[in-house]
Amino acid sequence: MSASSSRGAGYTASQVLDGNYDSYWAAAAGQTRATLELDFGKPKSFNRILIQEYVNLGQRLSAFTVEKEVEGKWLPLAQGTTIGYTRILRVPDTRAQKIRVNFLEAKGEPLIAELGVYAAPALIFPPKITRSTTGLVSITAEDPGLEIYYSLDGSVPLAGKNRYDKPFLLEKPATVQAIVVDAKTGKSSTIRRQELDLMKGNWKVLVNDSKAQAAIDELAHTYWTSPSNALELDLGEKVALQGLRYLPMQARYPSGFIADYALEGSFDGSNWFHLAKGEFANIQNNPIEQVIRFAPQQLRYVRLKALRTVDGNAATFGELSAVTR
């Protein structure tokens, strides 16, 4: 274990390997940029890197990178901002003899209590399926290095068939199903199923508030709060619509869940007619995506009105999506 600099006796690089949080390496006085280098003595396989900052004297670090040595060259492995008491970095399955951590920005001299490298079992969870407003579908696994297989035709995804390797364009409604596979063990996740309908690239929320686009941005963690307790949507063209999906706000401190609703349609954005009316039962305790269905209609405009919210606050909209199937 070595360092680009140290404060001196009692604060050397070896302190980060002693298993004692209260002993730590400290860079030389006045140096806010420094490096720790770890040599295993022989090639080692790993996929986790643990770094503990000695925060008893304050959290200092705000930017760092991790590199591995390959044939005498240092190659990037991971990067981050803050570290705090404990930061565990997930990296692809890696085999190397040396790694180094470069501390690039800090409020004071870097203080590192522990540095650890581990080979952890892969986390075989169902993948995450997302689509951008322009129709680009991404499928991601919890752990890097795992394989992903998917289907679009309703068939069960199988290991070895139709492997996902990069985002792909999906312009038409489809059911995307995907699994994660650990090639080392042969284990696979349960199936993730995602219904993807019309693309939203040409959609507009009919209100003079740029933040309202958060309700149709295909990002579950964003939302819009409507002062009028309603959202009017222009689909860009007439479509054969038979339903609407409403995702309530997914923030840590939720507000404005729609409890009772009315859904209206329009051909011109001025004259509105009834499509559906009802209640999102138990939405307060189970804030998942809600589906409103109605008799198929050729529509360009829809308006979802909150007749009542769970907490009496202004209605919030996490995401609206069309149902055409």
Segments making up each domain of the chain, as ranges: 2-118, 128-196, 204-323
Q: Does domain 2-118 have CATH number 2.60.120.260?
A: yes
Please give the backbone phi and psi of residue 57, each rounded to the nearest 5 degrees, phi first. Answer: -110, 20
Fold agreement between 2-118 and 204-323: yes
pLDDT digit string (tens) for the chain, length 325 residues:
999 999 999 999 999 999 999 999 999 999 999 999 999 999 999 999 999 999 999 999 999 999 999 999 999 999 999 999 999 999 988 999 999 999 999 999 999 999 999 999 888 999 999 999 999 999 999 888 899 999 999 999 999 999 999 999 999 999 999 999 999 889 999 999 999 999 999 999 999 999 999 999 999 999 999 999 999 999 999 999 999 999 999 998 999 999 999 999 999 999 999 999 999 999 999 999 999 999 999 999 999 999 999 999 999 999 999 999 9
| Domain at 204-323: CATH code | 2.60.120.260
Looking at residue 131, its amino acid is R
| Domain at 128-196: CATH code | 2.60.40.10
Output the CA–CA distances (angstroms, integers) from residue 210 to 50, 61, 154, 216, 225, in the order listed: 41, 35, 37, 12, 12
Query: Closest Cα to residue 84, out of 113, 117, 119, 48?
Result: 113
Please give the backbone phi and psi of residue 250, each rounded to the nearest 5 degrees, phi first. Answer: -110, 15
| Global pTM value | 0.72
